[in-house]
Amino acid sequence: MRHQLAFTILIVAATLSSFNGIFIRWLADMTDWQIVFWRHFLIGVTLCFGLIFYYRSNFIGALKAIGYTGLVGSTAFGLSLIFLTMALHHSSIANVMFILALVPIMTALLGWIILREKIQKITWIAIVGSIIGISLMVLGYLNSGNIKGTALSLGCAITVSFFAIILRWGRKINMIPMFAIGTLIAAVIAFPFSFNDLTLNRPQITLLFFWAGLISPLYYSLFVVASRHIPAAELMLAVPLESILSVLLAWIVLAEIPSANSLLGGTIVILSVSCMAIYRIRQKQKIPEN
């Protein structure tokens, strides 16, 4: 696959995933646990059907092939989905997505702690910039009393970063079975908190099937395809892109305008991560010349 096509696929995946906050707002009459259960149950089932179609009789073997390392990664991914849904349900889309832009920074820190990976100077600079940005955002949250959404967003960023470390640890693990198992883990955890009222009306069913049965499995699959043909440095650009698109969509579709603290802090975080990613891309491009 050509690099340009793979990068286009990555942009499409990031664009589709940026609608998550919009769908959660449209399902505001459901509880957070109901959304967690139904969304991830439907995604898990859809991905499993896709795996059955692809692997046929070797479907169970494909699930087993991820091993214990993959199971740990799936659990981290499942927890991140719960944190994300809860955060978007209890905070503004901009606040959540700006904090999630920290994922590449947190992944670098976890890689340094767990995998003993060396952190470049540009990454340390990005870390300092991100700390400044997050501090401005947290200050705004403390003044508004909305600290719950901040904590949930940070929980999502940490678990996603841990999932990324697991992927580095087990480089040959197929991500699609991990996504399928992770979403079903999220649904299982949510079930005890939502089984008292699992009934849905027609608009809810329509939205959930479109979002969880089509859009979400599609962008998970597109991300996996793109990740096989794009260097890690370029993959990082999907994070600030998704954050920016999510904030723009929230503003255009829902008229959600971020606070001054959130906008300033989030901009600093996104610039820090983007500059780090662009620097690494240019660094990779220079290697063949040496």
pLDDT given for residue 2 in this prediction: 78
Closest CA to 128 of 285, 268, 258, 277: 268
Element (DSSP H or E) covering residue 241: helix 238-254
Residue 280 has a pLDDT of 77
Of 147, 165, 42, 152, nearest to 97 (Cα)?
152
Q: What per-residue confidence (pLDDT) applies to 290?
A: 47
pLDDT of 144 higher than 70: no
Cα distances from 129 to residues 103, 133, 149, 180, 268, in angstroms, run 14, 6, 22, 35, 6
From CA 61, how far away is CA 67, in angstroms rounded? 10
pLDDT winner (highest mean) among 49-53, 125-129, 234-238: 49-53
User: Residue 146's pLDDT band (boundaries 50, 70, 90)?
Assistant: low
Q: Are 183 and 40 in contact (CB under 8 A)?
A: yes
**pLDDT for res 212:** 96
For residue 185, pLDDT over 60 is answered with: yes
What Å distances lie between residue 203 and 33, 134, 209, CA to CA?
18, 37, 10
Mean pLDDT of 125-131: 87
Q: Is the pLDDT of residue 12 over 70?
A: yes
Quick one: what percent of the chain has pLDDT higher than 90? 48
d(Cα 286, Cα 66) in Å, to the nearest integer?
35
Q: Using 50, 70 and 90 to split pLDDT, how confident is the model at 51?
A: very high
Mean pLDDT of 222-249: 85
The residue extents of the domains of the chain are: 3-289
Residue 145 has pLDDT above 70, yes or no: no
pLDDT of 73 above 60: yes
Q: Look at residue 198 and tell me whether its pLDDT is greater than 80.
A: no
Radius of gyration over every alpha carbon of the chain, rounded to an integer in angstroms: 19
More confident residue, 194 or 182: 182
pLDDT tens-digit readout, 258-286: 888 888 888 898 898 888 888 877 876 66
DSSP state of 56: G
Q: Is the predicted pLDDT of residue 289 greater than 50, yes or no?
A: no
Which of these, 3, 84, 4, lies nearest to 36 by C-alpha position?
84
Q: Which residues contact 284 (CB under 8 A, 6 or more apart)?
A: 231, 233
- For the residues 8-26, what does the mean pLDDT come to? 94
Q: How far apart are CA 5 and CA 257, in angstroms?
A: 34
Over range 114-143, report the average pLDDT.
81
Among residues 25, 77, 30, 48, the alpha carbon closest in space to that of 213 is found at: 48
If you average pLDDT over every residue of the chain, what do you get? 88
User: What is the distance of C-alpha 56 from the center of its chain?
Assistant: 29
119-123: average pLDDT = 84
CA dihedral 11, 272, 139, 163 (to 10 degrees): 60
Give residue 192's identity as a one-letter amino acid code.
Answer: P
Does residue 66 have a pLDDT over 70?
yes
Q: How far does CA 175 lie from the centroid of its chain?
A: 14
Q: What is the Cα–Cα distance from 100 to 242, expressed in whole angstroms?
A: 9
